[in-house]
Amino acid sequence: MNKTQSLTVLKNTGLIAGLIGLALLAYGSYSDTDNGFLLWSCLSLILLGTSLYSAALYQGQIPGIQNNGVWFNALTNKGYWGWLLGMALTAFYIAIYFYPELLGYRTQEKSTGLVAFFDPLSLALNGKPATQWFMYGSLYTLAILIFGVKFIFKYRTNRYQIIRTLSVIFFQLGFAFLIPELLAKLNGDSPYFAKDLKNMWPLNYYFFEDWHLDGMLQGGSLGLFMLLFGLAMIVVVSPLLTYFYGKRWYCSWVCGCGGLAETAGDPFRQLSSKKISVWKLERWMIHCVLLFISITTIAVLWTYTANPNNGLGITQSALWYGLLFLFSLILVVLGGFYRKQLPTDARYTFYTIGTLLILTLALRGWNGSEPLFGISSYQLRAWYGFAIGAVFSGVLGVGFYPLLGSRVWCRFGCPMAAILGLQQRLFSRFRITTNGGQCISCGNCSTYCEMGIDVRSYAQQGKNIIRSSCVGCGICASVCPRGVLRLENDTPNNRIQDSAYPLGNLLKTMPKK
């Protein structure tokens, strides 16, 4: 048997194993079994089968990144398979968020169907039967695992891609899935609070909600740790890491949403629109969401601190002065450093923070127990949870992968990405370096940018790419046929060059008008 034949055998074995795994999953969701053996067989068959399949598929090809036929394939060019998959995913998300009973979830009695199928795993990890969220978390992690393995094989000539994907898998499997479940078991019956260390505010939008703050405060030393760590992430860890490495340290190395986009979403990255009009829309939308979550959080904290005996021990007055100080500081720093030319994408943040400052000033006359402008903080957060937390980040964010590309949520909605993006744009060592005058304007970089950045527009001018939205996935550099792009961290001073022409020409230019 030659190499090709043995690879075909391996590929088919993988395919069959994976299909049996899927069949077991289907069986599990239609029967009411909670048989541990079945679940384990199902998960391992899917994982092993797909890994074997990807390994055999890519080992049969000469090393190198192949995007042949991407725009001929009905799955990856918004064809009928893309639409079908998009609809199926959307339906699944609607069921999880709004009709979990369709998936077998029961609040009063023992769950059935797909949810119950995951009971054995749930019991082993956290000691309780599965909820729809546990089932979803398990499938989510499984997706990152299997498509992560596929991604690694596809990009196996590029060590940056391999290490980055291993990181994404590690943080999903460990920090988002296993550790929180195990911690929940150890922490017994204390009230719920988030135990995913990497999931910081504002991506975790309920971090500052009263029930969550109280949950952490009553959660013993673990709860206190999560509270302090969560705060430290926002004000110390995240700005520092973003300064040194750009927002990629989070968005394409650690984050769970990013993790799914980078792995399962990889075949759809080319579907993100590169139009200038969409870039404008993106800046509006992402800052509106940032404003929305900020107002909601302030309102929630305002109500929380209205009770002088609140768990945090912060008075409403202290909160007010604190917020005023914070927003003024940001505005002064932004305005001071970038008086002459605040980049367009950063200007939106400037307005956002300005709005927040004015709103904070207006809070003074309100005691917090009654609705402000007829809206209570409870209503606000319910709306945010529904519109942004469920519909935008979940249903649209993943459901529309095959139609709008893999980073819809990250690009248009994620308030965390907005904050990190501002830091990346203004205070970071990160940039994508353009290699002198080597660009031939082919457009592979722009086409395969999942964030919809027109990378080529910078590269063909010999300019470095420094954009708020860049998540540093590095695919533009990987698919460049001429070795033009490189992700780099270096001193912030020389990031933005202002030469009239790309490198190569020795002509003497006139001083600019």
Judged by the rule CB under 8 A, the positions of this chain that interact with another protein are: 62-64, 67-73, 157-160, 163, 275-276, 433, 435-438, 440-444, 446-447, 456-457, 460, 474, 477-479, 481-483, 486-488, 500-510, 513
Q: How far is the CB of 64 from another protein (least distance, A)?
A: 3
Q: Indicate the residue among 17 and 449 with the shorter CB distance to another protein.
A: 449
Residue 79 CB, nearest approach to another protein (Å): 12
Spatial separation of the C-alpha atoms in residues 344 and 188, rounded to whole Å: 49
Look at residue 465 and give its three-state secondary structure: strand
Q: Which is nearer to another protein, 322 or 436 (CB)?
A: 436
- Give whichever of 228 and 503 is closer to another protein, judged by the CB atom: 503
Q: Hey, what's the torsion of the CAs at 51, 52, 56, 57, to 10 degrees?
A: -50
Comparison of 127 and 436: residue with beta carbon closer to another protein: 436
- Pick between residue 63 and residue 335 the one whose CB is nearest to another protein: 63
Distance CA 230, CA 194 (A): 10
Q: Which of 255, 30, 36 is nearest to 130 (CA)?
A: 36
Q: How far is the CB of 268 from another protein (least distance, A)?
A: 15
Nearer to another protein, 1 or 510 (CB): 510
Give 354 or 437: the residue with its C-beta nearer to another protein. 437
DSSP 8-state symbol, 267 = G
User: Are the CB atoms for 112 and 32 separated by under 8 Å?
Assistant: yes
Quote the CA–CA distance of 139 and 447 in Å, as a whole number: 29
Nearer to another protein, 385 or 437 (CB): 437
Contacts for 376 with CB less than 8 Å, ≥ 6 apart: 303, 370
When the beta carbons of 43 and 453 are compared against another protein, the nearer one is 453
Structure token pair of residue 137: 């978390």
What's the closest the beta carbon of residue 243 comes to another protein, in angstroms?
Answer: 17
Q: Which of 325, 326, 319, 324 is nearest to 305 (CA)?
A: 319
CB of 513 to another protein, least distance (A): 8
| 357 Cβ contact partners less than 8 Å away, ≥ 6 residues apart | 324, 327, 328, 331
> Shortest approach of another protein to residue 298 CB, angstroms?
39
Q: Where are the alpha helices (DSSP H) in 252-399?
A: 256-263, 276-306, 316-337, 344-363, 377-383, 397-399
Residue 197 or 449: which CB sits closer to another protein? 449
Tell me the DSSP string of 56-113.
HHHHTS-SS---TTGGG-TTTTT-HHHHHHHHHHHHHHHHHHH-GGGGT--SSS---H
Question: Min. distance of Cβ 154 from another protein in angstroms?
Answer: 13
The three-class DSSP label of residue 372 is strand
Cβ-in-10-Å burial (0-12, 13-18, 19+) of 107 comes to exposed
CB of 386 to another protein, least distance (A): 36
Least Å distance, CB 164 to another protein, is 9
User: What's the closest the beta carbon of residue 497 comes to another protein, in angstroms?
Assistant: 10
State how far the Cα of 56 lies from the Cα of 5, in Å rounded to an integer: 10
Decide: 135 and 95 in contact? Cβ < 8 Å: no
